[in-house]
Chains A and B, each alone.
Chain A
Amino acid sequence: MQHLANVSQLRAQAGEAAIEVEGLSHTYAGANGSVPALVDISLSVRKGRFVVIVGPSGCGKTSLLMMLAGLRQQTDGAILCHGQPMPKPDPERVGVIFQEASLFPWLTTLDNIEFPLSLRGTSREERRRRSQAMLSLVGLEGFGERYPHELSGGMKQRVSIARGLVQDPPVLLMDEPFAALDEQTRMTMGHELLRIWSTTRKTVVFITHSLTEAVYLADEVLVMSARPGRIIDHIEVELPRPRTYEMMATDVFGRLRDRIWQQIRKTA
């Protein structure tokens, strides 16, 4: 643990940090006293990096993301996002994309994308201009007037990504955004996400329990243990970009995936 803290300190010095977490712990009040959910989490995410947090179900990775988003408060420790704490959600700094498409079914695609802007009284023309731009970025031109129930699962997640990006926050947090999609759509969406990321250069923290997805997408993978969640490994993914589907068949890819699996298996 001490070793990891040192590593993250080094990283923070090497590049400017978008997110810094220091000694974060969280306990829930359960029926039989308090239950530890997260233990002594320290990490640092440099600006513009794509970091994937992977771990078994129930390890607290979603809770960690909610805390990074300012949607939940930790019991202990500090979170800094671009140097400032996150006591409450700040969509100017952090955009969040959720597990299931949390689009509002009563709004059209464009109105859904504009929703965060409309909360802050951005003018109608400005809203339309920016939501249209986001719509083409995620490849959904011509679907602006559709309602969510008229879109496929993959298209809905594209709209969610557009909504997360519309305020142009430097940090994007993604909570298993493709978990509800079928395998093929999931692969396509991962590829699409990398394309969008390469044009916008956001800092991304992406949560998943899929090892393949983790290695395919990430610059760095943080591996979490089963509950109570701690960070047990930090892996640099030295695969070149842009990533291709063919890389999944390479030895490097296989070794990285295997290393994550061995780490998770040890604690399960």
Chain B
Amino acid sequence: MRRPDPAAVRWMILAALLVLWEVVPLTGALPELFLPSLSKTLTVLYIDRHIYFAALLVTLYEVALSMLIACGLGILIGALVGGLAMLRELLLPVFSSLYAVPIVILYPVFTAWFGIGSSSKIAFAGIYGFFPVMLSTAAGIRTIDPQFLLAARSMGATLPQQITRVIIPASLPTVFAGLRLGGALTIIGVVVAEMLTASAGIGYLVTLNRTILDSPRVFAAILAILVLSIAYYMLARALESRMVVWQSAGRRQQQSSSRGEPVAVPTPAAA
């Protein structure tokens, strides 16, 4: 039997979910408060499009700035921590354990410091996204094959050349993985913060409409966030594959060969 194309199956599952979303509420199996139908959700989204668009702009603005903070600080501090042994021993255990703390408990403190406007969301989500970026940047620099640097030195590379021509490109794949994760966390951070305490943004619309039990408008906001996150993910992926052409195949092969381990070959099941 021919195996179906996974991409096609994915689209089919998505389509099936959308159909279920429309059909199940119509059958009356679930009350509208639990799940309003897709068409109803889209209708209120269209009616209130100006409100949702304005809220989305606020959220996007907060996400953009917090991503800037998360990526900028994350790369900067990650590079320092990854590059300097002393800082690494001092800071890495602290940062690694802080990463495990649910930082959202600090959000009330952020509102006290920065108010309930955009600043507190940006600061909170920036710190939320900072950790994966910083940790993977440090890991990316720390795990560079020392052979690369030795080879570069033997060819006469100065320290600045070693940084720009070897360390940066060699750590790019790991850094990018951190950026993708950190960026996704800033979106979560902004939306959660908006849901907790806010007067604007998509997360605020979720909370607002939930308190007045307006289910279609809650789901309209959820749909908007869903689209925003998926768009971000696809953009990040596209950017990553464009910047790191050699990564996907090259990394895996290089790692398995440098350890000298035999590559496991999957054996076909007995017919």
Contacts and interface: CB of A to CB of B under 8 A. Distances in A.
Interface of A: 69, 71, 89-91, 94-96, 98-100, 102, 104-106, 115-116, 118-120, 147-150, 153, 163, 167, 180
A119 B165 contact: yes
Interface residues of B, number: 29
Interface of B: 145, 147-148, 150-158, 161, 165-166, 169-170, 172, 244-246, 249-251, 253-254, 257-258, 260
A131 to B, nearest CB: 13
B155 A180 contact: no
Contacts of B254: 105, 148-149
A95 B154 CA distance: 7
B147 A89 contact: no
A149 B246 contact: yes
Contact of A106 (B147, B155, B172): B172
A63 to B, nearest CB: 13
13 contacts: A69-B154, A100-B257, A102-B148, A104-B169, A106-B169, A115-B165, A147-B245, A148-B254, A149-B246, A149-B253, A153-B257, A163-B155, A180-B257
A17 to B, nearest CB: 22
Contacts of A106: 169-170, 172, 244-246, 250
Given A105-B251, A147-B250, A149-B250, A100 B147 contact: yes
A102 B147 contact: yes
A90 B151 CA distance: 12
A98 B149 CA distance: 12
A96 B250 contact: no
B246 A105 contact: yes
A185 B253 CA distance: 19
Given A102-B147, A105-B250, A147-B246, 9 more contacts: A90-B156, A96-B154, A99-B147, A104-B169, A104-B170, A147-B245, A148-B246, A149-B249, A167-B155
A102 B169 contact: no
B258 A100 contact: yes
B18 to A, nearest CB: 40
Task: Give the most central of B147, B156, B169, B250: most A CB within 10 Å.
Answer: B156
B154 A119 contact: no
Given A149-B253, A149-B254, A180-B257, A115 B155 contact: yes
Contacts of A100: 147, 257-258
Nearest to B157: A119
A173 to B, nearest CB: 9
A98 B147 contact: yes
A98 B151 contact: yes
B244 to A, nearest CB: 8
Most buried by B among A90, A99, A105, A116: A105
Which of A69, A99, A102 has the most chain B CB atoms closer than 10 A to its own CB?
Answer: A102
A99 B156 CA distance: 19
A73 to B, nearest CB: 13
Contacts of B246: 105-106, 147-149
A118 B158 CA distance: 12
Nearest to B244: A106
Contacts of A105: 246, 250-251, 254
A119 B147 contact: no
A100 to B, nearest CB: 6
Instruction: Please list the 10 inter-chain residue pairs (A to B) with the smallest Cβ-Cβ separation, ordered nearest first.
Output: A149-B250, A116-B155, A102-B151, A96-B154, A105-B250, A91-B156, A102-B147, A106-B169, A149-B253, A105-B246
Contacts of B157: 119
Contacts of B257: 100, 153, 180
Contacts of B145: 102
Given A106-B246, A147-B245, A89 B155 contact: yes
Contacts of B166: 104
